[in-house]
Structure 1
Amino acid sequence: MLIGIWAFICAENIVPAFMLPSPLDVAHAFIRDFSLLMQHTSVTLVEAFWGLSLGIIVGFIVAVLMDEFNFAYRSFYPLVVLTQTIPTIAIAPLLVLWMGYGMAPKMVLVALTTFFPITIGLLDGFKSADKDMVDLMRAMGAGKLQIFRYIKLPGSMTHFFSSLKISVTYSIVAAVISEWLGGFEGLGVYMIRVKKSYAFDEMFAVIFLISILSLVLMKLIDLLKYTALKWERAK
């Protein structure tokens, strides 16, 4: 329906074509530049993957420390929240200045953007562990590592995958933003180039491609969750 309204607005010249290209023009731009778009997409996906992986590792470590040690919770939690108050567009130039125009600043920016949902999701999962089960494990002589392995970690997986769905969409956006501010390849670099040439049909094609990528990645996370959590399938 939205595409139909969009096509009608363009057909009736309600909005000039140079400001709002028609869906047909956007489709033609996507087909025309498909190979180039795929080349830039592969770069963005690699940056998003490694940045998200780093964010998951950092988020997991921080969540475990905050769950296990009260002083770590009091120390880290304000800092974790503080990282999300800094605008991404503001910190990206600093990362480029410190690390250059390669993949490193993109990975760090993606990690900074994605580790927060992972950390909070895992922490909530650890905190919501069944107290009776934990007490039973302790009564049976289980140590902290065993309680974590058999109770807290499995119980936090639902929270983890919910957070991962959020983080995976953030990873694409963060990678594109980092490419805007310094880079040689990627969808962000492509967007800057077509914007400077006023090729707004190509700009819209990239926007739709980013949206499609985010949706596909979210579906992949759902599939991964379905495959990994056997007890969820049993329910």
Structure 2
Amino acid sequence: MSGRLLKGWRPLVVLILFFFIWEIVVKKAGIPAWLLPAPSQIIQEGIASWASFSAHLFSTIKLGTSGFLIGITIGLLTAAILYLIPVVRESVYPLLILSQNVPVIVLAPLLVIWFGFGMLPKIIVITLVCFFPVTVAALDGFKQTAPDLKHYMRMAGATRGQLFWKLELPHALPSIFSGLKISATYSIMGAVISEWLGAKAGLGVYMTLASSAFRTDRVFVAIFAIMFLSLLFFGIIILIEKLLVRWQSKGAK
């Protein structure tokens, strides 16, 4: 237990040391705040502008959560269809890989032209970012089910549906959660990118306004908020994984 606690503190110590060096360098070198603010200035600005900043923060959380849930739902359904229907997998899977080679930042303006400035293009952007890691991870997880266990269940008279729901899906959960962790961090990034499409609120809007006004301290406030939200989403997925995949942790012991 003490060893785990020590490992958990190491990243925090490194982070504090990084901010301390950053603070000293900025103060000693006399770097202007508009070019690179000190961490203390960023914290002060975050506290001072919280009343206006919080609305943008909660808007991004709402948008990112909605897109994440839709994206992972589509990703899991896509993975199940590709796995259960080999013909579809052979026909569609290469196209899914090709679709990920199109930069989202390039596709975003086209979505505005096609669907306008409402919520739909923003949700599509986040969905495109989130669904692919879940699809690939789930598909790999389904394939890794032990052949012997499948054979035993078939001998016991299990149907194809029972084989999937009672064996293949539970055994794929560790892989699925690996994809969910990636998608959880990507969802915030996707939300910020989607907010550049013409949103009225959000961290993407806040960063754009701050950059145009040369308020570098506010840009860093938004950056730190994005990092915190990504870590928070990642932590929530880890917590859910520990609650649902108990057999894995027991087997690891």
TM range (shorter): over 0.9
* Preserved contact between residue 195 and residue 205 of structure 2 (Cα < 8 Å): yes
Q: Which residue in 2 is equivalent to 1:71?
A: 87
Q: Does 1:85 align with 2:101?
A: yes
AA partner of residue 194 (structure 1)? A
AA partner of residue 22 (structure 1)? A
Shift of 1:16: 3.4
Please, which of 181, 184, 205 is the counterpart of residue 197 of structure 2?
Answer: 181
Q: Which moved more, 1:202-211 or 1:77-86?
A: 77-86
Structure 2 counterparts to residues 1-235 of structure 1, below 5 A: 1-13=17-29, 15-235=31-251
- Structure 2 distance, partners of 1:32, 1:115, is 37
Secondary structure class of the residue paired with 2:83: helix
Secondary structure class of the residue paired with 2:29: coil
Structure 2 length normalisation: TM-score? 0.89
Secondary structure class of the residue paired with 2:81: helix
Shift of 1:18: 1.8
Q: List per-residue Cα deviations over 1:133-186 (Å, max 9, x = no partner).
A: 101111111111000011100001111111111101100001101112321111
* Preserved contact between residue 93 and residue 182 of structure 1 (Cα < 8 Å): no
Shift of 1:14: 5.6
Shift of 1:13: 2.5
* Preserved contact between residue 126 and residue 155 of structure 1 (Cα < 8 Å): yes
Secondary structure class of the residue paired with 2:33: coil
Q: List per-residue Cα deviations over 1:43-95 (Å, max 9, x = no partner).
A: 11111111111111211121112111221111111111112111111011111
* Preserved contact between residue 79 and residue 136 of structure 2 (Cα < 8 Å): yes
* Preserved contact between residue 211 and residue 219 of structure 2 (Cα < 8 Å): yes
* Preserved contact between residue 26 and residue 205 of structure 1 (Cα < 8 Å): yes
- Structure 2 distance, partners of 1:2, 1:134, is 51
AA partner of residue 85 (structure 1)? N
- For these two proteins, the number of residue pairs brought into alignment is 235
* Preserved contact between residue 33 and residue 217 of structure 2 (Cα < 8 Å): no
Q: Which residue in 1 is equivalent to 2:4?
A: none
Shift of 1:6: 0.9
Secondary structure class of the residue paired with 1:155: helix
- Runs of 4+ that moved beyond 2 A: 13-17, 232-235
Identity of aligned residues (%): 37
AA partner of residue 2 (structure 1)? F
Q: List per-residue Cα deviations over 1:95-127 (Å, max 9, x = no partner).
A: 122222222111110000010100000001100
AA partner of residue 7 (structure 1)? E
